[in-house]
């Protein structure tokens, strides 16, 4: 599977605390194999931090924001204090879904007698591009009676079978698409700020391909799901106006 070697500045990353020292914390970035990061004591919490172990311990998993990346040295500086609890929960939720999807892909690859790398090459990457995340593709395969009608082949049959056996289908799922962009020099940052406003509970926003993003809401109750997506879109619309971002929402 193709992965980025390093995250980008502003990205949220899941980390495992490796070593706690008096002046900072060494952490492993779970989504970037072989990459480690550092959380300086000044970035652990707001206010004065006397003992880092009051906040972090070895083996703990948490979510941090990337504040700088040195590609040559392989250094990634992280911040724990620059991310709120809601963003942490959403990131952990997406990461757990990604972990589930990888395990499901192992089952699919064994069923087909193919390597995971080959499966990723033949259909995994395409599914991510279409659905935003691989787990979203598994959810669609489990819930839709007409999953990818234009596709044929044994991989599709195996994918649907594994999804049906292992993925719980939410009773309500609402999907839409967002086009968001800015021509300003810091346009990427402006767009990120706008989309962050839409990350309310139960709402997942995933990158499809510039300038398009996929927004998905799942809930057991249709009215609740409707209210969630309305609130999310309204918050992003207001933020887009403030940040000078061109924003358009389309319901599917």
Per residue of the chain (252 residues), give pLDDT as tens.
Answer: 445 689 999 999 999 999 999 899 999 999 999 999 999 999 999 999 999 999 999 999 999 999 999 988 888 999 999 998 888 888 998 899 999 999 999 999 999 999 999 999 999 999 998 888 899 899 889 887 789 999 889 999 999 999 999 998 766 888 899 999 999 999 999 999 999 999 877 788 988 877 999 899 887 678 888 999 999 999 999 999 999 999 999 987
Q: What is the CATH number of domain 86-166?
A: 1.10.150.190
- Helix, strand or coil, per DSSP, at residue 102: helix
CA distance 221 to 92: 23
Given 3.20.20.370, 3.10.129.10, 2.60.120.280, 2.40.50.140, which CATH number is that of 12-83? 2.40.50.140
Report how far residue 191's alpha carbon sits from residue 246's, in angstroms, rounded to the nearest whole number: 9
Task: Tell me where in the chain the CATH 3.30.70.1130 domain(s) lie.
Answer: 172-251
For residue 41, count CB atoms less than 10 angstroms from its CB and return exposed for 0-12, middle for 13-18, buried for 19 or more: middle
**CATH code for the structural domain at 172-251:** 3.30.70.1130
Tokens at 99, concatenated: 């972990």
pLDDT at residue 53, rounded to an integer = 94
d(CA 30, CA 35): 8
Distance CA 3, CA 74 (A): 16
- Euclidean distance between CA atoms 205 and 236, whole angstroms: 11
> Which residues make up the CATH 1.10.150.190 domain(s) of the chain?
86-166
Domain with CATH 2.40.50.140 in the chain: 12-83
Angle at 215 between CA 104 and CA 239, to 5 degrees: 140
Residues 113, 123: Cα–Cα separation, whole Å: 15
Angstrom distance (rounded) from CA 212 to CA 103: 28
Q: Classify 96 as helix, strand or coil.
A: helix
- Give me 3's structure tokens: 């992965």
Which are the contacts of 190, defined by CB distance < 8 A and separation ≥ 6?
Answer: 182, 184, 243, 244, 245
Separation in Å, CA 143 to CA 24, 88, 170, 176? 46, 28, 8, 17
**CA 70 → CA 2, 30, 41, 84, 93, distances in Å?**
21, 18, 19, 25, 28
């Amino acid at each position: 599977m193709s992965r980025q070697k390093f995250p980008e500045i502003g990205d949220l990353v899941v980390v495992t605390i490796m070593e706690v020292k008096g002046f900072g914390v060494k952490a492993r970035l779970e989504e970037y194999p072989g990459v480690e990061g550092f959380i300086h004591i000044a970035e652990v919490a707001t206010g004065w931090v006397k003992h880092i172990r009051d906040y972090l311990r070895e083996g703990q998993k948490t979510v941090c924001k990337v504040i700088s990346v040195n590609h040559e040295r392989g250094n990634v500086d992280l911040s724990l204090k620059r991310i709120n609890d809601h963003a942490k929960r959403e990131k952990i939720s997406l990461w757990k879904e990604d972990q589930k999807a990888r395990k499901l892909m192992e089952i699919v690859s064994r069923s087909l007698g193919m390597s995971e790398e080959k499966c990723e090459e033949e259909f995994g990457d395409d599914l991510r591009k279409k659905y935003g995340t691989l787990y979203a593709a598994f959810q669609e395969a489990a819930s839709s009676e007409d999953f990818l009608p234009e596709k044929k082949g044994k991989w599709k049959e195996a994918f649907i079978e594994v999804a049906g056996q292992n993925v719980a289908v939410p009773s309500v799922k609402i999907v839409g698409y967002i086009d968001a962009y800015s021509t300003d020099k810091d346009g990427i940052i402006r767009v990120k700020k706008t989309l962050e406003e839409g990350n309310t509970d139960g709402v997942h926003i995933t990158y499809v391909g510039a300038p398009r993003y996929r927004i998905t809401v799942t809930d057991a109750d249709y009215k609740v799901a409707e209210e969630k997506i309305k609130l999310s879109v309204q918050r992003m619309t207001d933020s887009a106006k403030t940040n000078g971002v061109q924003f358009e929402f389309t319901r599917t």
